[in-house]
Amino acid sequence: MLLQIKGINKRFAETYALKDVNMDIRPGEAHGLVGENGAGKSTLIKILTGVYSLDSGEVFWNGNSVVIKTPMESRSLGISVIHQDRHLVPAFNGIENIYLGLPYEKSLFSVNWRKMRRQVQQTLDLYGIDVDIDLPASQLTPPQRTMIEIARAMMVECKLLILDEPTASLTDKEAEALFGIIERLKEKGTAILYVTHRLDEIFRLSDRTTIFKNGEFVDTINTADADKDKLVSLMTDNWTSKTEESNRQLGQTMLTVESLKSKDGVVKDASFSVRAGEILGIYGLGGSGRTEMMECIYGSRQIKEGTIRLEGEHYQNPTPRKSLSKGLVLICEDRRGAALVPSLSVKQNTVLSTIKNYSGLLGITNEKRELQDTKEKIETLKIKTEGPSQSVYQLSGGNQQKVVFAKALLSSPKVLLCDEPTQAVDVKTRQEIHQLLRDLAEKGNAIVFVSSDLKEVLEIADNIQVFSEGKTVKVLNNKNITAEDVLKHCYVS
């Protein structure tokens, strides 16, 4: 056995990312790893590559117990990883990127570039990789960058290659080339840990498949003995849709999106509508393009083509400023990086998007009204703070998120685009945010609600749009449906 994992536990605060996980990988096998969002796949990869340390449990490599403390130690064992987000230096050419982390070849007191080029080319030829190694990474296509990373992994004795969503940015033809390389690696005895949401690739490539659910090991099965329905059922809790019937009366259509495509190609075909009083859940697996779709609608990402209508009127060339003026607001996923200015006070952050409304004659700010409105939002949203002048960075994550909502609500929105609005908040704050959104819907707002937590989407949404690989796959009425009913539409076959 090449790799054995026994009883691994990893916890962040009170939440287990991995709990008592067991797994093994054999030399020369392609081993699939599947699970829905938050199943623990990424945490396991980071443990094997020395990014995270274990809380408890053991890792065995070739039968010997090992402790992997750093990425360098992981690589010295023969473990290499290719992440979904490529790790290349944009200004470096292929040779320089392939030698990242490796000692340069020397000739007396200078770098022997000729020898390095020769060794890189030998590796490329061995695995049938065709890429211009003289171009900087910034000029390479996504598949070419993937090939550079594979070549870098093969420059050392790689015994286990971890591929995390490797075909996410590849065309069918480019994916076929990658599959050919994987087969050659297997023939040479390299083990492959293949992590993907694309179940057709699992069935095509893997010998065995391990299923994770909620940070726990479910089973390892021979892939040939399973089908798509079996894998989906194993990775899904049997959650059902919300049991409480909403008395909300849905009004006119507030937002319509038709055949939306982003300029960068991430959003390929998004279509949906949401009515006044409705909470529309958007669910998709990691990398499905949900966030990018929301950014296109709001105007912080460029649109290639498609139609957006607000209250029946065409909304062309959206920008964040125009969106706010039209009653469309985005609660973005990255509150610290994009929604708040941590060094500013609660009051300054709260009025940030509507600051022009507080300017009077000669541009003098009406600080009294700013303070009054901020205090009202602090009270309404139950923000735990020392006062409006306290710096936002001093607040807890949940209270920071409430400040984000306070800022959004001051613009009197009609449509709220909520991207992971309860991410990294405590249970009580999560419930309060859910109630806030229900109250807003009761008042006639239209809510678009994105969450990686399928159980949460089932709890709060009236209807659910399933999003996969940049496209709207299905819109489901959230009545008497299960998590499995939703999840099966996320996996393309």
DSSP structure string for 328-365: EEEE-S-IIIII--TTSBHHHHHTGGGGGGGB-GGG-B
- For residue 282, with 0-12 CB atoms within 10 Å meaning exposed, 13-18 middle and 19 or more buried, which class applies? buried
Per domain, the residue ranges of the chain are 3-234, 253-487
Q: Do domains 3-234 and 253-487 have the same CATH topology?
A: yes
pTM of the model: 0.67
Question: Do 276 and 319 form a contact (C-beta atoms < 8 A)?
Answer: no
- The letter for the amino acid at 81 is V
**Could you tell me the end-to-end alpha-carbon distance of the chain, in angstroms, rounded to an integer?**
31
How many CA atoms does the CB half-sphere of 11 hold within 13 Å?
A: 10
* Per-residue pLDDT tens digits of the chain, which is 493 residues long: 999 999 999 988 777 889 999 999 999 999 999 987 678 888 899 999 999 999 999 999 999 999 999 988 998 899 988 876 667 899 999 999 999 878 888 887 899 999 999 999 998 888 878 889 999 998 887 778 888 888 888 888 889 999 988 876 666 677 787 888 888 889 889 999 999 877 888 999 999 999 998 889 999 999 999 988 888 888 876 666 554 556 678 899 999 999 999 998 899 999 999 999 999 999 988 778 899 999 999 999 999 999 999 999 999 999 999 999 999 999 988 887 788 998 899 999 999 988 888 887 677 778 889 999 999 999 999 898 889 999 998 888 788 989 999 999 999 999 999 998 988 676 678 888 999 999 999 999 999 999 888 888 998 999 999 998 899 999 898 888 888 888 888 875 5
Contacts of 172 (CB under 8 A, 6+ apart): none
The CATH number fitting domain 253-487, selected from 3.40.50.300, 3.60.70.12, 3.30.1480.10, 3.60.15.10: 3.40.50.300
Selected from 3.10.20.90, 3.40.50.300, 3.20.20.70, 3.90.1010.20, the CATH number assigned to the domain covering 3-234 reads 3.40.50.300
Structure tokens at 186: 């297997």
Contacting residues for 364 by C-beta, under 8 A, at least 6 apart? none
